[in-house]
């Protein structure tokens, strides 16, 4: 028996890889210390004090499993969003939900339409389930809605992925354009509308909940990882029709949610005042990043997220040299992985101490190159 025959042919054919290399691995592999963690689109401003208090209060009960029906969190989210609890599915972050959605509709060989250079973790799930990626290039650093629709009409795919606002470029479409796109996707295709960054987006860019709530072929995914500052707690949710939302119950890990994480999410929803303040701080940090870029002859792109993509004016190799060079100074950032997007670097919003390190290190790196 060969060493790998116990695995399926699909698994044997997949590369041993992960979508992202974490800052911890970089520290281990390069022997460097991360001093400014502004590369993973985490919220360096952290969760509300009320959320930290809720976590502390929930800690002694962590010996208990979480409610497998996620009843309290669904009730709170429904009240916050203006929908019914039956419209919601809860999961361990958007990443987990994306994997479940792919599993719900994709079999080996099925086509999946997405943008070239969009969220790598989604692609990771598609290939992991044997799907065939059909990618559409960005136009002017924004996802191409017309191009995506053309690919959908050509391929008739079971699954389509579109993020608004977008990662990795930070670009966005207005709500009317998003709704028109969603309504144009045929009912035979399930559309994932990834809204992970909707809280930091400008007014008028996120469709109202009721605008797509009756579309069984639309799933909107959201998270507590970004604006709410709970990336490590792993809390995501999906919004759709009751029938589509209930399909998750067939395959999800019913005890996947942590009890402490649920307490954190409930407290975060209840503290919208803090959310408003942290969104303002993110906006201020975006402008700080943009100014640092301009001061160094680089071009920041407009952003509706908690990060800024910066056009370095050359190619991916040059951008990679900047990423690696900044890490020499303890400044952890990332970059898009596909040309022509990879001419850019991507810097997450963060506290002033992190911005000061970036401001100090960037000109030194550029001078060395």
Cα 339–chain centre separation: 20
What's the number of domains the chain is made of?
2
Contact status, residue 116 vs residue 168, Cβ threshold 8 Å:
no
pLDDT by 10s per residue, the chain, length 369: 455 578 899 998 898 877 788 999 999 999 999 999 999 999 999 999 999 999 999 999 999 999 999 999 999 999 999 999 999 999 999 999 999 999 999 999 999 999 999 999 999 999 999 999 999 999 999 999 999 999 999 999 999 999 999 999 999 999 999 999 999 999 999 999 999 999 999 999 999 999 999 999 999 999 999 999 999 999 999 999 999 999 999 999 999 999 999 999 999 999 999 999 999 999 999 999 999 999 999 999 999 999 999 999 999 999 999 999 999 999 999 999 999 999 999 999 999 999 999 999 999 999 999
Final residue belonging to a domain, choices 271, 286, 303: 271
Q: What is the DSSP letter of 227?
A: T
Q: Specify the pairing of strand 88-91 against strand 236-239.
A: antiparallel
Alpha carbons 304 and 170: distance in angstroms, whole number = 6
Residues 233 and 290 in one domain: no
- Residue 230, token pair as written in the block: 């709970």
Instruction: For residue 364, give the CATH number of its domain.
Output: 3.90.1150.10
One domain, residues 330 and 363 = yes
CB count within 10 Å of CB 185 equals 22
The reply to whether 254 and 278 lie within a common domain is no
Instruction: Quote the tokens at residue 265.
Output: 């999410």
Q: CA geometry: angle at 29 spanning 13 and 24, to 5°?
A: 90
Domain assignment present for 3:
no
Tell me which residue range forms the domain holding 26.
Answer: 9-46+273-368
Question: CA–CA separation, 297 vs 282, rounded Å?
Answer: 23
The neighbouring-strand residues paired with 239 are: 88, 220
Residue at which a domain ends, from 239, 255, 271: 271
- How many other C-beta atoms can be found within 10 angstroms of the C-beta atom of residue 8? 11
Q: Which residue has the tokens 């307490």?
A: 263
Please calculate the CA angle 356-282-44 and round it to the nearest 5 degrees. Answer: 65
């Amino acid at each position: 028996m060969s060493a790998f025959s116990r695995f399926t042919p699909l698994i044997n054919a997949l590369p041993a890889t992960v979508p992202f290399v974490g800052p911890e691995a970089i520290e281990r592999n390069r022997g460097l210390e991360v001093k400014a963690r502004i590369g993973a689109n985490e919220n360096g401003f952290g969760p509300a004090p009320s959320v930290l208090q809720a976590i502390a209060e929930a800690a002694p009960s962590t010996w208990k499993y979480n409610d497998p029906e996620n009843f309290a969190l669904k009730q709170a989210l429904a009240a916050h969003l203006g929908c019914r609890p039956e419209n919601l599915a809860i999961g361990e972050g958007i990443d987990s939900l994306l994997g479940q959605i792919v599993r719900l509709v994709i079999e080996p060989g099925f086509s999946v339409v997405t943008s070239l250079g969009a969220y790598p973790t989604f692609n990771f799930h598609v290939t992991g389930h044997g799907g065939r990626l059909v990618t559409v290039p960005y136009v002017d650093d924004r996802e191409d809605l017309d191009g995506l629709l053309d690919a959908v009409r050509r391929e008739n795919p079971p699954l389509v992925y579109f993020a608004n606002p977008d990662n990795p470029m930070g670009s966005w479409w207005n709500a009317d354009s998003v709704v028109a796109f969603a309504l144009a996707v045929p009912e035979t295709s399930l559309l994932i509308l990834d809204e992970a960054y909707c809280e930091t987006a400008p007014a008028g860019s996120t469709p109202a909940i009721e605008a797509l709530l009756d579309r069984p072929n639309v799933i909107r995914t959201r998270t507590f990882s970004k604006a709410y500052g709970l990336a490590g707690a792993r809390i995501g949710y999906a919004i759709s029709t009751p029938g589509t939302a209930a399909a998750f119950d067939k395959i999800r890990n019913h005890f996947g949610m942590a009890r402490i994480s649920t307490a954190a999410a409930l407290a975060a929803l209840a503290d919208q005042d803090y959310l408003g303040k942290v969104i303002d701080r993110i906006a201020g940090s975006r402008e700080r990043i943009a100014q640092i870029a301009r001061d160094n002859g680089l071009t920041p792109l407009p952003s509706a997220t908690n990060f800024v993509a910066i056009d370095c004016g050359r190619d991916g190799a040059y951008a990679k040299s900047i990423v690696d060079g900044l890490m020499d100074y303890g400044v952890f950032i990332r970059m898009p992985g596909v040309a022509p997007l990879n001419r850019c670097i991507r810097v997450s919003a963060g506290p002033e101490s992190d911005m000061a390190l970036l401001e100090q290190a960037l000109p030194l790196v550029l001078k060395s190159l």
